Structures are given as C-alpha cells and as structure tokens.
Structure 1
Amino acid sequence: MSSELAVSVKDLSKVFHIYDSPRARLLQMLLGSRKQFYREFWALRDINFDVKRGETVGIVGHNGSGKSTLLQVISGTLSASAGSVVTNGKVAALLELGSGFNPEFTGRENVILYGQILGMSREEIEEKYPAIVEFSEIESFIDQPLKTYSSGMYVRLAFSVAIHVNPDILIVDEALSVGDALFQAKCMAVLKKLMDRGTTLLFVSHDPGAVKALCNRAVLLDHGNMLACGATDDVIEAYYSTYVRKKQRVISNDDLVRPQSVELDSELTDGADDFQQRASFQRIRNGRASFVNVQLLDDEERITRQVTYGDTVTLRMVVSVEEDLPMLAFGYHLRDKNGFDVAYSDTGLEDAHLIDLRAGEVYTVDWTFRTQLRAGDYSISAVASVPIDLGIGQVDTCDHVPIAVQFNVSRGIYLPLHGAVHFENKVRTRVLSKAAV
C-alpha cells in the first residue's frame, strides 16, 4: 500500500447468513457444509476505492445500501467475506449510537473504556479527560449510568472521546444528526479543524449539504454495489437520480426535446443545442414536460456567461408540455464551483405555478435577480415537476437538469465580498452622545 494512501479497499464483499428460524441455525451448526439452511444476503459486493491521506470522502446511499456495513468493515468491527481493506494510521470510528459503550457503566467509566477501544493508553485518557468532559458539555451527568442518558448525550460523549484520540483516520456514521443544532455546528467546526490538520475523514450522512460542505469526493452505494465514485457534486446528483428513478417513470435522454407544434422565435432557441449537450449529464425526464432551452440573459436580453457583481440578469426557462397537466412547478438551485447550494427558489415560493396546461403548449418562465455573489464560477440546475403532496415534498419530476447554465461572476469595481452572497441591507446609524467641544 502506498504511503500516500490512508485507506485502500479492494474487491470488498460482505455476506450475511439469514436464518428463518432458530432451528435452521441449529441444524446448520450440526450439519456444517453438508447442507445449507440459510439465505445469503450480500450487504457489499466488489467495492473498490482508495482514500488519500488528508482526503475527506462522503459515503452516500439510501437506507439498506451498505453504508454502515462498509464503515464497520473499514473500522475493523466486522470482517470481510472477500477482498481486503488496508488502513494506514490510527483509526477512530463514531458508528451507530452507543457503539463501544456499556449502558451499565457511568459516563466517566465509558470514557476510559471507549478511549482504550480507540487505542489510547490509560495515561493519555487521564490527561485528556478534562478536555473530553468539557467538550461534551455533560459534566453534571458524567458519574451517572449511561442508560440514563438521552441519545444526544450519548453522541456528545462518543464524539468528544473520538476527536481527542487525535486520529489519522476518523470515521463518522450519521451519528451527528442526533445532536442539537448548536452541538452539530460545534462538531462541524472541529471536523474542519481536523481536516486542516491533515486527518482523513470518512463521513456518512443523508444530508447532501453536509456532504458537499465537508467532502472532496464521494462514493455512492446502492444495494451493496458501488454505483459511482468521484467528485462530490457529481455523486450527489447520481444519488438524487437513483432516488427519482425508483419513485417514478423515467424515459431515455437520447433524443433532443423539440416542441410538438409551435415554431419558436430564434431568440428562444439561441444556444439550445449547447443547452441540450450540457443537460445530458444526470438528466431525469418522464416525458410529461421538458426543457427546450435554459438561458442566462443580461439586462438587454442577450445570452451571457460573464456577469459583474451587482448586474441584473434573467434566468429564462423554455419548456414544452408533452401531455395535459393540471399544474406545473419550476425551481432552480444556484451553486458555486464546489457544488454547494448558494441560492434557491421555486414557483411555490414565488406563487407562480402554471395551471391547466395542454399538450403542445410552450411556456417561458423568467427569474430576474441581481447577482450579488462573490467572484467565481457558478452553475444553475433547473427542475420542472408536477406537485403531488408538497406537505411531504412529493412531486413527479418531469425534467431535472443538474447543469442547465454555467457562468462567471467578476468583482468589477466593487469591494471584495467575504461571504458567499450579499443581502440587501438597510443601515441606520444614530449619534447617542457627542463629545463636548
């Protein structure tokens, strides 16, 4: 294994034996390999990827995809059925809630126990004990049995011990979602400090925003198979695509979308071929309505890819309706070069859904806004959908284009912007007292 690698996973597979009854398990023990009384469940199949030192890799996938099993094999709490996992350095793992803890022991006793499991000596634990308790913020309960703790208190204590191990490789499996908002923010700040220090992080989360914020790369699992491994934004889009494909009908993206019966003005089709080429990446369509073109226009309605801070632009979506629809909603995500969501809007927020549409109709949807963004490269994703139950976020995705528009923002003559975006502010100052002359 190269010294540049922190983790190397080669042809990794993990199978579990599922018995339908205790009797079947007993018969298997008695008869051994002469007869099989179990069903095989492959939690992982032929997983291959490497993680470099100091890299942060997110593991994403739907429930049952094998994420937790993968991390358990990497951390050494489960053995592989086939293939290999090699780690280079001290590993600390924060797995499912309560892993490595004894609920009958006090918090103090569990700090010692868990610290030793993670490879700390008794002297190291005693030296770091005050800092561990202080970070966990549960000092008043530290001598109470863990079985009296809430789930949030469990996580506080486990995370505090794990980060004070000073690991070379830190594995975090969704555990931080249990803590309150303040503690989660505190944990994120610590994780970023560890990353800056060169700690390798393997991170499982169902929150795409957290994965994008923390991770250089990501791995997508589905039913134990690795579907994608690469840039975080690309993998998150693939993750979203697999979810939509499981929930609704999806058609092939081979053919370009053209309006059925309406001739469009040339300004609406300007750049349409380039749009269709960009749109092919991770595009999801169901054939009910499709984007013909998406353009970014300046204040003179010319297509632009270069914008100066403060300019007013229009995001124009041209959509063709392929079948009669009671309602059609639209939205967009504006993302920075790392794929992190900077701004979002939809026609529900703007009270602008299209109602009672007929097959063959073509519409434009214009979004006009000032680009008060930090200088850099940006992209915009576009989505058209039929609302089903917005209370639970259920929609029928007609067309989702992860990269509909790409553009650059320059600072121009303005002062540098130190945040991602500038809000409009009303600033008022008052003199409460003046110095005597």
Structure 2
Amino acid sequence: MTNIAFNAGHGADSLLVVQGVGKAYKRYAGKWSRVLEWLSGTTRHEKIWVLRDIGFRIQPGEAVGIIGVNGAGKSTLLKIITGTTEPSMGHVQRQGRVAALLELGMGFHPDFTGRQNAYMAGQLLGISTQEIAVRMDEIEAFAEIGDYIDRPVRLYSSGMQMRLAFSVATAVRPDILIVDEALSVGDAYFQHKSFNKIREFREQGTSLLIVSHDRNAIQTLCDRAILLEKGFVIKDGPPEEVMDFYNALIAEKENATVEVKRLDDGRAKTHSGTGEARLHTISLRNAKDEAIEYANVGERVRLQVEIVLHADLPELVFGYMIKDRLGQPVFGTNTFHLGIRLGPFTAGERFRLDFAFPVHLGPGSYSVTTALHVSDSHIAANYEWQDLALLFNVINASQPQFVGINWLPPEVQVHTSP
C-alpha cells in the first residue's frame, strides 16, 4: 500500500528549503552492545551516515528531480522532507501544503475500505470530513477502481492502491507535491493520466519534487535535477546535464574517469570510459560525401565514425543515440543489436563505420551520443561514452508542413459511398 504523508499549512508562497541536512544511524557490534551502552554511559556504536550536508531550495512553481542509484539516500531524504523521519543534523523549512506519495507498503489500513481510507487520508491533509464527502465523487472518478472503493484495501493490487493514493493526495491542489518511484507501479494509462494532473498543478503554481529513474519523466517535468551519490549531492543543474553525468557514473569502472566540458552554447558534454577504444572522428554526411550541420527533412544522410584502438580487444560494440534539444532519446541502436560483429582488434588499429538513414525527423536541433563497449549495453564494459559527440539541425525545405518530432508521411486514400 502507499504511504501518503501530509503537512497541512498555508502561506502565500510554496517554498522548500533543505539546509545542511544529515542523517546517521547507529550500528552496534552485537545485540548486547546497546544495553551496555545504556548501562555504562559509554559509546558502543558507530555512526553510519546515509546523508551528509544536503542543501537545496525549491522555488514556487519549480520542479526538481532527485536521482541516484539504490542506496544513495533518496528515500531517506524524502522522509526527512515530509517530516516522517528526523534529521541528525540540519533542518527543513516547508511553507504551504505538502502532499507526498512515498513507497508502497505503508499508509492505508488493509482492513478498511478504500472509501474509509480516503476519509482518513483526507483528514491528515487537513480537510474536513464534509469537504472530503464533497470531493469523494472526484476521487472515485479519477481513481477508476469501480466497486473496489467499498472493498478492503487488502484486496487491492499495487496498481489500484496507487490509483487511490494519488487520487486522494491530489484531490486538493498542494503547494508542494512530492512523488517517489511509487507511480512506476501504475499501468501506462494511469501513469499518463497522473502526469497530466501533475502538469496541470505545475501550471497552477505547485512545486514538484520527484524521485525517478525515468529519464523522460525527469527531463519532461523538471526544471532542475539533483544527483545523490553515497549520501552527498554531487551535481545540481539542468536535467539533461545531470542525467548524462548519472549515466556516465553508472558505466564507470575502476579505471574510468568522468569528465564534463562546457560547450560554447552553455551545454555540458559528458565524457567517460576506460579508454581501450576511442571515437576519433564523427560527422554527418550528405549524398555528396560532404560533412553537414544542416539536414533537410527526408534527406538521406550517413553518420560516419572513425574509431581507434588503444588495447587488444577480442570484440567491440559501437552504439549511437540521437536526442532532441531536450535530451529526449529519438532513436538509438548499436552493432550488437544490428547483428554486426566487430573484432578482434589489436592496439593501434583504426576502422570506420557508416550508418546510412533518411532524416525522418521534425525541424529542430539534435545531438548524437556515442558509446563503445561490449555485449548489448555499456554497463558491462564502458570503453567510452560521449554525450553531445555531434550536433546537427534539421530544416524543412521541401516537405509539406507538419508538426512533431518525426516525419511520418502518410499515404491517403479517400473512399466515397456509392
């Protein structure tokens, strides 16, 4: 079941300030150490810090994403922000009404019906039973769980629990909405519906704090992203930049390094890898074999890359991904999935790859991310990963006008009745 944490309050501004927050837990050597510590008054534990010196501010109407690997401290941070856990150091200031959807497994009483749980959760939000009664039809309609609203919650699936929890939490627009990975358990239809509701709240001034591993959700919904690593904030900035850095950290191995360079347009280019293989050159080329920065919609082009080997490798996989201006993936593939075997190679060798395709993209700015690795992904062995390895633009100089990120020209047939 879903834990719904609420802090009822009112203020002209919705503002969240996290300042110098740290959280430590005591770890004892044995089961009697705690008793001996209490009796003797001497310390018999060590402190395990899961959060250290966390600080950030969320302005009214701002959306911030929290990302990090499992164990980075994300859930602990959310519990401190909502007030369900006390920090060991630092403090949190909250203004306005806060509604939080946290992890599954807590909150609703399993033997009470969904309706009864909705009333109890509403009261925690600070809404009277009379007002909940007025809003109950809206809650039922949004949750779409039918007759289950009057059945015990223990009979609900995790998706149904999520539907009801989200519907209750958003029955009244909060000043700050905190969403953990809980939404990931819902079906695709309800996820879409929920994110539309979140976008509506944002337009009305609600601040958003969202924890998710979903790159699209972070980059679509958020103005900023904060990366947690081993309890510390190691990066706070634009979502695309932070997500690129996060992906590089995931792929990092013992000898790998992660470098971030600032481009002339202000964007950050993330580069990582152990270096056994490197991208030497990359270009987008037209039918005349000319390197181009602008491609026409529908034009056939080639992505040409030259790779240099710095070590003997029995095999190698090259992959690329085209992203739009927001960093959203448009298309990606690699030689492994294409059934192309590369290798073995010896140190010092070079080779070239050409990927030919039509530019079935909408007008706009695009980037190419490249990866050199083994097997089907860069997680196994990251020789090199480059975000923003190539930038290019698409213009529409010859096709009928259209909207969207993809060029999908239809064949139209008109059938008239006899």
Same fold per superposition (TM over 0.5): yes
Report if aligned partners of 2:258, 2:271 keep a CA contact under 8 Å in 1.
Answer: no
In structure 2, how many angstroms separate the alpha carbons of the residues matched to 1:38 and 1:178? 38
Report if aligned partners of 1:321, 1:361 keep a CA contact under 8 Å in 2.
Answer: yes
Report if aligned partners of 1:98, 1:154 keep a CA contact under 8 Å in 2.
Answer: no
Report if aligned partners of 1:333, 1:380 keep a CA contact under 8 Å in 2.
Answer: yes
What amino acid is the match of 1:17?
A: K
2:390 aligned partner: 405
Aligned equivalent of 1:36, options 35, 39, 43: 43
Aligned equivalent of 2:162, options 152, 155, 179: 155
2:219 aligned partner: 212
In structure 2, how many angstroms separate the alpha carbons of the residues matched to 1:8 and 1:362? 52
More divergent stretch after superposition (5-14 vs 152-161): 5-14
What amino acid is the match of 2:168?
A: V
Q: Could you give the per-residue CA deviations for residues 140-194 of structure 1, whole angstroms, max 9, x where no partner exists?
A: 1222222222222211111111111211110001001111222222222222222
Report if aligned partners of 2:14, 2:207 keep a CA contact under 8 Å in 1.
Answer: no
1:375 aligns with 2:359: no
Report if aligned partners of 2:241, 2:267 keep a CA contact under 8 Å in 1.
Answer: no
Shift, 1:250, TM fit: 1.2
Report if aligned partners of 1:286, 1:398 keep a CA contact under 8 Å in 2.
Answer: yes
Report if aligned partners of 1:241, 1:282 keep a CA contact under 8 Å in 2.
Answer: yes
Q: Could you give the per-residue CA deviations for residues 187-239 of structure 1, whole angstroms, max 9, x where no partner exists?
A: 22222222222211111112222212221210000110111000001111111
In structure 1, how many angstroms separate the alpha carbons of the residues matched to 2:403 and 2:96? 37
Report if aligned partners of 2:316, 2:373 keep a CA contact under 8 Å in 1.
Answer: yes
1:250 aligns with 2:235: no
Shift, 1:4, TM fit: 6.8
Shift, 1:105, TM fit: 2.0
Aligned equivalent of 2:179, options 161, 172, 178: 172
Aligned equivalent of 1:121, options 123, 128, 132: 128
What amino acid is the match of 1:123?
A: Q
1:431 aligned partner: 415
**Secondary structure of 1:68's match?**
helix
Shift, 1:354, TM fit: 1.4
Count the aligned residue pairs.
405
TM-score using structure 2 length: 0.89
TM-score using structure 1 length: 0.86
In structure 1, how many angstroms separate the alpha carbons of the residues matched to 2:370 and 2:335? 12
Report if aligned partners of 2:287, 2:301 keep a CA contact under 8 Å in 1.
Answer: yes
* Structure 2 gap ranges (5+): 1-10
**Secondary structure of 1:355's match?**
coil
In structure 2, how many angstroms separate the alpha carbons of the residues matched to 1:251 and 1:51? 31
Shift, 1:318, TM fit: 0.9
Task: Note the aligned Cα RMSD (angstroms).
Answer: 2.6
Report if aligned partners of 1:253, 1:280 keep a CA contact under 8 Å in 2.
Answer: no
Q: Could you give the per-residue CA deviations for residues 297-317 of structure 1, whole angstroms, max 9, x where no partner exists?
A: 222222222223222222111
Q: Percent identity?
A: 37
More divergent stretch after superposition (121-130 vs 4-13): 4-13
Shift, 1:339, TM fit: 0.9
What amino acid is the match of 1:187?
A: S
Aligned equivalent of 2:342, options 344, 347, 354: 354
2:18 aligned partner: 9
1:261 aligned partner: none
In structure 1, how many angstroms separate the alpha carbons of the residues matched to 2:267 and 2:57? 30
